[in-house]
A and B are shown apart, each in its own frame.
Chain A
Amino acid sequence: MTKKTKMKNLIKQLNRCKMLYLMILPAIVAVFIFHYIPLYGVQIAFKDYRSSLGIVGSEWVGLKHFKNFINYPYFGKIMINTLRINLLSLTTFPLPIIFSLMLNELRNEKFKKVCQMITYAPHFVSTVVVCSMVILFTNRNGLINIIIRALGGEVVDYMAVPEAFAPIYVISGLWSSLGWGTIIYMAALSGVSPELIDAARIDGAGRMQVVWHVQIPHIVPTVVTMFILQIGSLVGVGFEKVFALQNNLNMEASSVISTYTYQVGLIQHQFSYSSAIGLFNNFINVILILLANQISKKVAKVSLW
């Protein structure tokens, strides 16, 4: 085909798709305004932003703000806090998988439905409410301390103990997501062919062996995909929950990149410095997810792209 006819075809095709472009245009515009314009604004991370000069007019300062962040005395602490919370969360990664295998083995459909319904429910409780429940339960008169007292232990105000912060974060997160996290694995498990299970049974496999040799291999691709996604967010901790659980007494363990970005940006109005921290965080996240994707491509032959 010559270039000319190609061009002609394209124009014809474009003409045919006018309506389609019109339909997608609002989404393109909305994403452009709320995602791409801020990306353009990221340049203030390399500038000394002054509102009187605007984003474009402010003076370039190179990597000054990045250097400031790395030299910030609490830089190490913030990074460690962020990593600690995420690594501890990562240890709970197998739990939804195990729970979905258990649910999958239930024979009474009604019981299974009820258990699923109840364990999914916490997913719908908002972050603020989950955090307030945590705070209510861990205070001196709260549920946890009532139980500890009944068992003869010592009453502790856990929200005031920095060491307790990461465990509290992870356990409450588990409450929110354990049930909901099983859905995707249940979907994968429903794809195991019954013949395969029957064949294994006839060959003398017990229930445990069927789970181990038939069900688990079947869901490995899903598991790997979910794992890559989790690795990708290793350096980012969601702002909402940490911020809601944070107080002056546990600050030592609860100051993470996202809350620090908020503090210097919106409370102290150091716009450029805060943007630099945000960009730094985003950069590491992208690198991590690319790495995880590459590794899983090699090792498990599964990848996101």
Chain B
Amino acid sequence: MTKTTIKRRNKIQMFDVINVTLVFLITALMMYPLYFCVVASFSNPNQVALGRTLLWIQDFTLDIYKFVIEEEQLWIGYRNSIVYTILGTLWSLVLTIPAAYVLTKKYLPFRNIISWYFFLTMYVSGGMIPGYLLRKSLNLVDNPLVLIIDAGVSCYNMIVTRQYFSSNIPDALYEAAYIDGATEGQCFAKIAMPLAKPIIAVMALYYGVGNWNSYYTALIYIRDKNYFPLQLVLRNILINNQLALSNMDNLEAGAIEYLVYRARMAEGMKYAIVFIASAPLLIAYPFVQKYFAKGVMIGGVKG
């Protein structure tokens, strides 16, 4: 081996060492906040406040979770969010998938106008108040239906879906079907739909995550606590400090000691709730990750 090749190999290794180290550090840094919350939620709150739980659980305890289970509002929110997310996602899919399919048909009269009709909604909107007045006149204020039908069609998602249809299903396939006498409806149901499973999965996930994580619609349109979705309940508990702590009042202790304990416990509960609230998506996500990434890529091909 000559000297130059040895030199180059060393240089390459240096590049890799630095790169791998940096990527590793960034990844660890990204993971740490959630890791810290999980550790803190299983530790004694006093130890957390003293900063002893930076790396691992101290004084393992499930007390925090016992209190969290008692927070009724949280579980009402959980139940509501599951219902809203499932129904809202279905509604969005029913609107988006056929519409996107239709927009791939080049021979459709007025196709461009219809595309622009959807496209414009990405850039101009009526804004908060005109939207509020409309929903009020439709009787959707303080009506849980608003959380299901409001997501409706996202133009971005429609473009992504359209892109998928036009780049993954060759026109020749439809043409052959037409010659055999298939109608447009049959083409959609028998040819496009079976081939569209990946994009339907991507869209279900996009809309689903959007529905699950949003609190804006509920903040503006819902007043009745029994209809609150999880995110709004979380906002009240985590940010506005409205924990019920109902069964903690039974504790017998000195007043000041009790107040400190209560405050620390409330803090610990927040860590636990952060964990509980994020867990469903974080657990489900590795299984569906490839679909998510696919969606972004299809959309990135330029809509």
Contacts and interface: CB of A to CB of B under 8 A. Distances in A.
Interface of A: 10, 13-14, 16-21, 23-24, 26-28, 30-31, 33-35, 37-42, 44, 55, 99, 102-103, 105-108, 111, 114-115, 117-122, 124-129, 131-133, 135-137, 141, 143, 146, 149-150, 175, 178-180, 183-184, 187-188, 206-208, 222, 225, 232, 239-240, 243-244, 261-262, 265-266, 271, 274-275, 278-279, 281-282, 285-286, 289
B220 A266 contact: yes
B215 A13 contact: no
A165 to B, nearest CB: 15
B238 interface: yes
B152 A129 contact: no
Nearest to A29: B95
Interface stretch (B27-35, B61-69, B196-204, B248-256): B27-35
A278 B94 contact: no
Nearest to B300: A184
B23 interface: yes
B131 interface: yes
B127 A244 contact: no
B19 interface: yes
Contact of B150 (A10, A28, A34): A34
A20 B184 contact: yes
B234 A129 contact: yes
Given A124-B282, A187-B300, A265 B99 contact: no
6 A-B pairs with the lowest CB-CB distances in the bound complex, closest first: A38-B126, A278-B127, A41-B130, A132-B238, A146-B51, A27-B99
A271 B130 CA distance: 8
Given A243-B219, A265-B129, 4 more contacts: A33-B134, A121-B31, A122-B30, A126-B234
Interface string B149-175: 110110000100000000000000000
For A17, A38, A42, the residue with the greatest tally of chain B CB atoms inside 10 Å of its CB is: A38
B244 interface: no
Q: Is the interface of A mostly helix, strand, loop or mixed?
A: helix
B16 A107 contact: yes
Contacts of B270: 132, 136
B271 interface: yes
A146 B54 contact: yes
Contacts, number: 266
B109 A129 contact: no
Contacts of A261: 127-129
A207 B130 contact: no
B19 A34 contact: no
12 contacts: A10-B109, A14-B109, A39-B124, A55-B133, A102-B22, A133-B33, A178-B30, A184-B300, A207-B12, A262-B128, A266-B220, A271-B133
Contacts of B215: 126-128, 240
B26 interface: yes
A94 to B, nearest CB: 14
B20 A106 contact: yes
Given A124-B278, A278-B127, A26 B95 contact: yes
B11 interface: yes
A35 B185 CA distance: 28
Contacts of A180: 296
Interface in B185-219: 185, 188, 209, 212-216, 219
A159 B189 CA distance: 54
A105 to B, nearest CB: 5
Contacts of B15: 105, 206-208
Contact of B302 (A30, A111, A206, A225): A225
A128 B238 contact: yes
Given A13-B109, A149-B51, A106 B234 contact: no
Contact of A121 (B131, B138, B285): B285
A244 B121 CA distance: 26
B258 interface: no
